[in-house]
């Protein structure tokens, strides 16, 4: 009998909060979850995006039972949910799962460092292009919904800054943007408009968790739920 269950992740569901006990871990099968950190009551910035290539609750693999960041469902979908103690037991019983978790945490650390550098050095328009590409990868669709407010959170800028950057990308015919409904019209062009951080994140994932580390499959395949190295390692506990 499976020890995990498939749950719906509705828009706006909080999956983790700093300082609160992590009761479950989530392996998204669809949809996407935004990780953000608050600097004060009014300001927060997105530091990561989790889709079916990753998981929420990875701190447990470090022996810490709370998350350092907020995790909020931004793209509704489904996830495999495991109770924290079930996950910890599985981790204790599986050297393979431990190895993949260590490598995954290395990627997470690398992505956080990249996000810090990105927000300091790269222009808002290029950063918006990057987040839209990351979102498209996890939404598995060129069409998705992101509110103006969320985009401002993602980029750590005022809403007017988002409007300016989104309008610029739209005028270049790379995206269509209307009341939060986004369509990526020109993926290749958007990749060119993005800062180098998008490619750097993907390259790190490929290097640490990609084809050479798993079963010789390309990154695109690794981003699907059935072949995610994290999820495959989690299989024996089901």
Site residues (vs Zn ion, CB under 5 A): 118, 122, 195, 197
Count the helix, strand and coil residues of the chain and give each as a percent rounded to the nearest 5: 50, 25, 30
The SS3 assignment for 236 reads helix
Smallest distance, Å, CB 17 to Zn ion?
Answer: 27
Nearer to Zn ion by C-beta: 15 or 134? 134
Smallest distance, Å, CB 213 to Zn ion?
Answer: 25
* Burial zone of 210 (CB within 10 Å; 0-12 exposed, 13-18 middle, 19+ buried): buried
Smallest distance, Å, CB 198 to Zn ion?
Answer: 7
Query: What is the CA 222 to chain-centroid distance, rounded?
Result: 14
Smallest distance, Å, CB 84 to Zn ion?
Answer: 33
Nearer to Zn ion by C-beta: 16 or 195? 195
Nearer to Zn ion by C-beta: 137 or 233? 137
* Helix locations, the chain, DSSP H: 84-93, 95-121, 124-139, 148-155, 159-171, 187-193, 197-209, 219-222, 229-234
Largest distance between two CA atoms of the chain? 54
Nearer to Zn ion by C-beta: 83 or 206? 206
Nearer to Zn ion by C-beta: 125 or 222? 125
Smallest distance, Å, CB 147 to Zn ion?
Answer: 22
The phi-psi region of residue 180 (left if phi > 0; otherwise alpha if psi is between -120 and 50; otherwise beta) is left
Rounded Cα distance, 190 and 137, in Å: 13
């Amino acid at each position: 009998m499976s020890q995990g269950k498939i749950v719906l992740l509705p828009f706006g569901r909080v999956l983790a909060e700093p300082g609160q006990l992590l009761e479950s871990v989530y392996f998204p099968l669809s949809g996407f979850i935004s990780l953000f950190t608050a600097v004060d009551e009014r300001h927060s910035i997105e530091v990561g995006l989790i889709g079916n290539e990753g998981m929420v609750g990875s701190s447990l693999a470090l022996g810490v039972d709370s998350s350092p960041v907020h995790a909020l469902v931004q793209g509704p979908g489904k996830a495999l949910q495991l109770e924290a103690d079930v996950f910890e037991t599985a981790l204790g019983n599986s050297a393979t799962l431990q190895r993949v978790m260590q490598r995954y945490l290395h990627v997470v650390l690398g992505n956080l460092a990249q996000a810090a550098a990105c927000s300091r050095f790269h222009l808002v328009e290029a950063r918006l292009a990057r987040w839209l590409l990351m979102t498209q990868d996890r939404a598995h669709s060129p069409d998705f919904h992101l509110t103006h407010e969320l985009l401002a959170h993602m980029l750590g800028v005022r809403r007017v800054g988002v409007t300016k950057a989104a309008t610029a990308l739209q005028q270049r015919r790379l995206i269509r943007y209307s009341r939060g409904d986004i369509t990526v019209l020109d993926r290749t062009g958007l990749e060119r408009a993005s800062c180098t951080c998008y490619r750097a994140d993907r390259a790190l994932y490929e290097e640490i968790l990609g084809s050479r580390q798993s079963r010789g499959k390309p990154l695109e395949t690794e981003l699907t739920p059935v072949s995610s190295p994290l999820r495959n390692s989690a299989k024996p506990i089901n």
